[in-house]
């Protein structure tokens, strides 16, 4: 009975450590006389590496330390470079003879920054397990899919999580999600080298295979693991705001690690190699949006439908006013801070459009392959992309266009418009 009592207290302590609570008190009554307890053989949990690391935490919570040990051991046989599993393994061994005051206290000489990174990873995974919204609700950021867009990727920077949603008759349907790494200094990239991940709506532009990276990057290719999928940063609005940088990719991790810390990249979004390959199967080059938000917003189907309808109505109102030569209502759709892709401000743009409209007797505007995504955050923006077919008595023009909208005086206004790049 005394042995069971001591193990129960130690399991409670380690649970507090895993939840990153304040330091707990020593868990043996006389630390000067530690007791070495013989541990029985446990039963290993099955599932993905993340499911098993969380199962080990559950076993500790329930006082099943032998099962925690068996689960961690089995996980390390499969993923020998899983550093968080090694950390937990060290703690489980250390608990046999000593009290622990924090997760990783049994890790020996592990550097402080490495230990803190592993603690952050543990917290990110534990926190996500409590979050059920992706399966029960819809992402407010994926409002309108173009018919050709089969999937969309949503990156929640605050949660260090990447989600995949399928376009099911225009409605986002949850497919999968994985732990992900973002920039060392967080999100909202502004300039080259600031080690931040950009926020906004981007598109996957290409696939850089591992063999290609080996040829072009040499030894540095290992940083990207199984390969890389570049995204379109800086996009049109980034450039208009003076944001700089390049080489923002979705990619894997080096061979000597299973996963990186939540904030550890130079601005890219990194996943375990297995999970990057899982995400890759849903990527359409040139089509798949990657929506990176400071914090994901989840809404009911009714609320999502309302926002979806409002977004479509907004774009159709703009199209109808332009087509009907309602020049002033059309120009009222543009923000005071508006910029065109050729650098025109609102005054110059309005003057030009007024002159052009005066020479029209009729016009027809048709939009195809329309998509609408929102970046969220305290200052949300709508990103609209579409194929535009414009015809009038003196001009026929077809182009792929992109607009960025934001709130101004309580209404959505266009702050950038131009050819999609």
Please give the CATH number for the structural domain made up of 300-419. 3.10.450.50
Average pLDDT over residues 337-364: 95
pTM score of the predicted model: 0.89
Classified by CATH at the fold level, domain 133-298 comes out as L,D-transpeptidase catalytic domain-like (2.40.440)
Cα–Cα distances (Å) from 166 to 82, 139, 145, 289, in that order, read 30, 12, 10, 12
Integer Cα distance of 225 and 280 in angstroms: 13
**Per-residue model confidence as pLDDT tens digits over 208-225:** 999 999 999 999 999 999
Q: Mean of the pLDDT values across residues 68-90?
A: 94
Checking if the pLDDT of 387 tops 70, the result is yes
Buried-state track 325-356, b at ≥16 Cβ within 10 A, e below 16: eebeebbebbbeebbbbeebebeebbeebeee
Higher pLDDT among residues 12 and 183, named by residue: 183
The per-residue pLDDT for range 6-30, each reduced to its tens digit, is 334 444 444 444 444 333 322 222 3
Dihedral angle computed from the Cα positions of residues 197, 201, 206 and 211, in that order, rounded to the nearest 10 degrees: 30
Please write the tens of the pLDDT for every residue from 99-110. 666 677 777 677
pLDDT band at 132 (very low <50, low <70, confident <90, very high): confident
- Residues classed as catalytic: 251, 268
How far, in Å, are 53, 274, 381, 399 from residue 237 at the CA level? 41, 33, 10, 18
Asked if 294 and 158 count as a contact pair (C-beta separation under 8 A), the reply is: yes
Would you place residue 98 in the very low, low, confident or very high pLDDT band (cuts 50, 70, 90)? Answer: confident
Task: Pick the more confident residue, 323 or 378.
Answer: 323
Least confident segment among 4-8, 47-51, 173-177, 394-398: 4-8
**Residues 6 or more apart from 355 whose CB is under 8 A from it?**
none
Compute the distance between CA of residue 66 and CA of residue 52 in angstroms, rounded to an integer: 14
Residue 4 has pLDDT above 60, yes or no: no
Q: What is the pLDDT of residue 30?
A: 35
For the chain, which residues make up each domain, given as ranges?
2-129, 133-298, 300-419
pLDDT of residue 101: 67
Question: pLDDT tens across 236-275, in order?
Answer: 999 999 999 999 999 999 999 999 999 999 999 999 999 9
């Amino acid at each position: 009975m005394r042995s069971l009592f001591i193990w129960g207290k130690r399991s409670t302590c380690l649970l507090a450590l895993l939840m990153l609570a304040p330091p707990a008190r020593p868990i043996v009554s006389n630390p000067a006389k530690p007791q070495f307890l013989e541990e029985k053989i446990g039963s290993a949990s099955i599932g993905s590496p993340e499911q098993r690391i969380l199962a080990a935490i559950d076993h500790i919570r329930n006082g099943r330390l032998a099962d925690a040990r068996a689960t961690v051991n089995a996980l390390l046989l499969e993923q020998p470079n899983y550093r968080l599993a090694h950390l937990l393994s060290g703690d489980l061994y250390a608990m046999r003879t000593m009290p622990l005051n924090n997760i990783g206290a049994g890790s020996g000489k592990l550097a402080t920054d490495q230990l803190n990174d592993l603690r952050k990873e543990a917290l990110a995974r534990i926190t996500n397990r409590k979050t059920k919204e992706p399966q029960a609700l819809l992402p407010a950021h994926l409002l309108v899919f173009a018919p050709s867009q089969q999937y969309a990727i949503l990156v929640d920077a605050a949660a260090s999580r990447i989600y995949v949603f399928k376009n099911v008759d225009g409605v986002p349907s949850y497919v999968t999600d994985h732990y992900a790494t973002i920039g060392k200094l967080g999100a909202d990239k502004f300039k080259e080298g600031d080690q931040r991940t950009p926020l906004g709506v981007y598109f996957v532009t290409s696939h850089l295979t591992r063999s290609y990276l080996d040829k072009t990057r040499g030894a540095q290719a290992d940083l990207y693991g199984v390969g890389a999928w570049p995204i379109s940063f800086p996009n049109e609005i980034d450039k208009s705001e003076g944001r700089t940088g390049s080489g923002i990719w979705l990619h894997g991790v080096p061979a000597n690690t299973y996963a990186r810390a939540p904030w550890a990249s130079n601005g890219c979004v990194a996943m375990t190699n297995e999970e990057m390959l899982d995400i890759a199967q849903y990527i359409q080059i040139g089509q798949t949006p990657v929506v990176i938000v400071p914090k994901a917003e989840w809404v009911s189907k009714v609320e999502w439908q309302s926002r979806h309808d409002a977004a479509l109505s907004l774009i159709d109102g703009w199209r109808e006013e332009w087509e009907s030569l309602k020049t002033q209502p059309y120009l009222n759709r543009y923000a005071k801070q508006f910029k065109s892709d050729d650098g025109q401000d609102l005054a110059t743009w309005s003057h030009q459009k007024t002159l052009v409209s005066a020479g029209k007797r009729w016009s027809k505007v048709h939009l195809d392959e329309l998509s609408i995504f929102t970046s969220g955050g305290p200052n949300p923006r709508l990103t609209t992309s579409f194929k535009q077919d414009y015809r009038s008595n003196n001009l026929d023009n077809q182009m792929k266009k992109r607009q960025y909208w934001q709130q101004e005086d309580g209404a959505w206004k266009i702050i950038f418009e131009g050819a999609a790049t």
